[in-house]
Structure 1
Amino acid sequence: MSVTRRQVIARSGALGAGIAFTGALSELFEGTAAAQSALGHCGYGPLVPDPNGLLDLPEGFHYKVLSREGDQLRSGEGQVPTNHDGMSAFTGRHGRVHLVRNHENRHSARIPVPTIEGLTYDPAGKGGCTALTLDSRNHVLSERVAIAGTAVNCAGGPTPWGTWLTCEENEDKAGTNGYTKDHGFIFEVDPADPHRSGAVPLTAMGRFQHEAIAVDPHTGIVYETEDAFLKPFGLFYRFLPAKPKGGLGSLRAGGRLQAMRVPGVPDLSSIQETGASFSGVEWVDVPDPLAAQTPIRLQDFGPKGITHAQKLEGCYWGGRCVYFVSSFAHSAEGSAADHYGQIWRYDPAKRTLTLVIVFGPDTDIQLPGESPDNICLAPSGGLMVCEDGNGAQHVYGVTRQGEVYAMARNAQNIGTDTEPEWGEFAGVTFSPDGRTMYVNCYTPGTTFAVTGPWRR
Structure 2
Amino acid sequence: MDRRTLLRASVVGGAAAFSGSLWVGAATAAPAQPGTSPYGPLQPADAQGIQLPAGFTSRIVARSRQTVAGTSYTWHYAPDGGACFAAGAGWIYVSNSEINPGGGASALRFNADGSIASAYRILSNTRKNCAGGATPWGTWLSCEEVSRGYVYETYPQGGTAAVRRAALGRFKHEAAACDPDRQVIYMTEDESSGRFYRFRPTTWGDLSSGTLEVLVAGSATSGPVTWARVPDPDGSPRYTRYQVSGAKKFNGGEGCWYADGTCWFTTKGDNRVWAYDAVDQRIDLAYDDSLVSGSAPLTGVDNITGAGSGDLFVAEDGGNMEINIITPDEVVAPFLRITGQSSSEICGPAFSPDGTRFYFSSQRGLLRETGGSSPRCPAATRSRTGCRRARTPDRRSPTTTDR
Which category of TM-score, normalised to the shorter sequence, fits these structures?
Answer: 0.7 to 0.9
Cα gap change, 1:25/1:310 in structure 2, threshold over 3 Å: closer, same or farther?
Answer: closer
- From 247, 253, 256, the equivalent of 1:312 is 253
Which of 251, 259, 269 is matched with 2:207 structurally?
251
The 2-side partners of 1:452 and 1:212 are apart by 30
1:286 to 196, 210, 230: 230
Looking at secondary structure, tell me which structure has more strand per residue: 2
Per chain length, whose mean CA-contact separation is higher, i.e. which structure has more relative contact order (CA < 8 Å, sep 6+)?
A: 2
Distance 2:284 2:301 in 1: 17
Conserved 8 A contact 1:360-1:369: no
Shift of 1:11: 5.6
Cα 1:321–1:26 shift into 2, 3 Å? closer
Aligned match of 1:235: 195
Residue in structure 1 matched with residue 141 of structure 2 by the alignment: 165
- 1:192 and 2:120 correspond: no
Aligned pairs, number: 353
Structure 1 counterpart of 2:351: 430
Q: Of residues 31, 35, 49 in structure 2, which corresponds to 1:54?
A: 49
> Which position in structure 1 is the counterpart of 2:87?
92
Q: 1:26 to 1:255 in 2, by over 3 A?
A: closer
- Partner in structure 2 of residue 342 of structure 1: 272
Q: How high is the sequence identity, in percent, across the aligned residues?
A: 31
Q: What is residue 379 of structure 2 aligned with on the other side?
A: 448
Structure 2 counterpart of 1:381? 310
- Partners of 1:261 and 1:284 lie apart in 2 by 7
Distance 1:49 1:422, change over 3 A: farther
Structure 2: tracts of 5 or more residues without a match = 1-23, 366-375, 387-402
Indicate how the Cα distance of structure 1 residues 234 and 26 shifts in structure 2: closer, same or farther if over 3 A, else same. Answer: closer
In 1, the alpha carbon distance for the partners of 2:343 and 2:302 equals 15
Secondary structure at the aligned position of 2:227 is classed as: strand
In 1, the alpha carbon distance for the partners of 2:31 and 2:240 equals 37
| 1:378 shift after superposition | 1.3
Shift of the 65–53 alpha-carbon distance from structure 1 to 2, 3 Å rule, reads closer
Whether the 8 Å CA contact 2:27–2:277 is kept in 1: the answer is: no
CA RMSD of aligned residues (A): 2.5
Deviations along 1:135-166, one digit per CA (max 9) or x if unpaired, are 12221110111110011111001101111111
Structure 1: where are the runs of 5+ without partners? 1-8, 14-21, 30-37, 108-125, 172-182, 272-276, 330-340, 414-420
Cα displacement (A) at 1:219 = 2.8
Q: 1:97-136: CA deviations, max 9, x gaps?
A: 11111111123xxxxxxxxxxxxxxxxxx10100000012
Q: Is the CA contact 2:188–2:195 (under 8 Å) kept in the aligned structure 1? A: yes
CA 454–258 in structure 1, closer or farther in 2 if over 3 Å, else same: farther
Q: Distance in 2 between matches of 1:394 and 1:410?
A: 6
Q: Which has the larger radius of gyration?
A: 1
* Cα distance in 2 between the residues matched to 1:98 and 1:10: 30
Q: 1:454 to 1:165 in 2, by over 3 A?
A: farther
Alpha-carbon contact 1:55-1:412 (below 8 Å) kept: no
2: distance between equivalents of 1:287 and 1:25?
A: 34
- 1:438 aligns to what SS in structure 2? strand
Deviation at 1:361, TM superposition (A): 9.1
Secondary structure (helix, strand or coil) at the match of 1:385 reads: strand
TM-score by length of 2: 0.81
